[in-house]
């Protein structure tokens, strides 16, 4: 697969959450997904357990079923988070604009997820329910780096992705749809994947480093 001419730092700073610029009409070759997953397998895992699995969903009916759960999950998320967002939006014009942008883009994905040609669900053996923080860190920390590596590898091949979680409000139902053994395996995310319209992306707005950096002490 052709690789975009991006420096390592450009790749790391321009791998954005892509929603509206996903090309929903262009097919994604299975080989490019395999290539990105091969790269993801080089991510670290606790004790090198490699207890990950990746469910790649291209079947239209399966994607439709996941998109339905995602939509229902988005409704729950909105019900939970609207008061928080309203408060944040009231704090400054800049914050209000940022929230409006994400909400608008998020709604696009809610409306079109079933049309995104590939959904990738990174999974990990075990469940964190009622586990101490150290076990939770070990579990999530053994799948999210791989998910991010997959997203970086996808970006460098002209694909857009986003890390999403709304369907996890209905994780058990999604497990049923996909045949995942829910009692033993955690789904970490749902990553929609498609080629992007254009490949030029810019770094996102972020808080200044000085506001979050603690050196030697908090």
Ligand X SMILES: Cc1cc2nc3c(=O)[nH]c(=O)nc-3n(C[C@H](O)[C@H](O)[C@H](O)COP(=O)(O)O)c2cc1C
Q: In the set 142, 156, 161, 162, which binds ligand X (CB under 6 A)? A: 162
Q: Cα–Cα–Cα angle for 118, 119, 125, nearest 5°?
A: 140
Annotate each residue in 97-136 with x if it binds ligand X (CB under 6 A) or - if it does not, as one string: -----x---x--x---------------------------
x/- site string to ligand X, residues 199 to 218, per CB under 6 A? -----x--------------
Among the listed ranges 38-46, 54-62, 81-89, 162-170, the one in contact with ligand X (CB under 6 A) is 162-170
The burial of 25, by beta-carbon neighbours within 10 Å (0-12 exposed, 13-18 middle, 19 or more buried), is given as exposed
Q: Does 163 bind ligand X (CB under 6 A)?
A: yes
Contact residue for ligand X among 10, 11, 14, 17 (CB under 6 A):
17
Determine the Cα–Cα distance for residues 31 and 177; give it in Å rounded to an integer. Answer: 24
Question: Please, which residue, 70 or 195, has the CB nearer to ligand X?
Answer: 70
Question: 113 is written with which tokens?
Answer: 């997820």
CA angle 23, 24, 27 (to 5 degrees): 90
Part of the chain binding ligand X (CB under 6 A), chosen from 24-32, 54-62, 123-131, 157-165: 157-165
Judged by CB under 6 A, which of 68, 165, 172, 199 binds ligand X? 165
How many of the chain's residues bind ligand X (CB under 6 A)? 11
Dihedrals phi, psi of 126, to nearest 5 degrees: 105, 165
Q: What angle do CA 161, 63, 158 make, to 5 degrees?
A: 25
C-alpha span between 165 and 74 (Å, rounded):
9
Rounded distance between C-alpha atoms, residue 168 and residue 217, angstroms: 35
Q: Which of 45, 164, 186, 187 binds ligand X (CB under 6 A)?
A: 164
Which residues in this chain contact ligand X in the complex, by CB under 6 A? 16-17, 102, 106, 109, 162-166, 204
């Amino acid at each position: 697969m052709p690789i975009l001419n991006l420096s390592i730092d450009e790749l790391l700073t321009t791998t954005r959450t892509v929603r509206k610029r996903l090309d929903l009409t262009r097919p994604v070759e299975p080989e490019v997904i395999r290539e990105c997953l091969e790269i993801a397998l080089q991510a670290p895992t606790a004790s090198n357990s490699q207890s990950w699995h990746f469910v790649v969903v291209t079947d239209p009916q399966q994607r439709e079923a996941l998109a339905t759960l995602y939509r229902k999950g988005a409704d729950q998320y909105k019900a939970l988070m609207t008061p928080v967002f309203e408060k944040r939006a009231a704090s400054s014009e800049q914050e209000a604009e940022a929230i409006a942008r994400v909400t608008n883009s998020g709604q696009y994905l809610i409306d079109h997820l079933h049309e995104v040609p590939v959904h990738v669900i990174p999974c990990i053996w075990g469940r964190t329910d009622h586990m101490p923080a150290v076990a939770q860190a070990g579990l999530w920390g053994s799948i999210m780096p791989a998910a991010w590596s997959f997203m970086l590898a996808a970006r460098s091949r002209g694909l857009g992705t986003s890390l999403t979680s709304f369907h996890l409000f209905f994780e058990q139902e999604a497990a049923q749809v996909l045949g995942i053994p829910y009692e033993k395996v955690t789904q970490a995310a749902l990553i929609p994947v498609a080629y992007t319209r254009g490949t030029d992306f810019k770094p996102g707005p972020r808080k200044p480093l000085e506001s979050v950096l603690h050196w030697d002490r908090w």
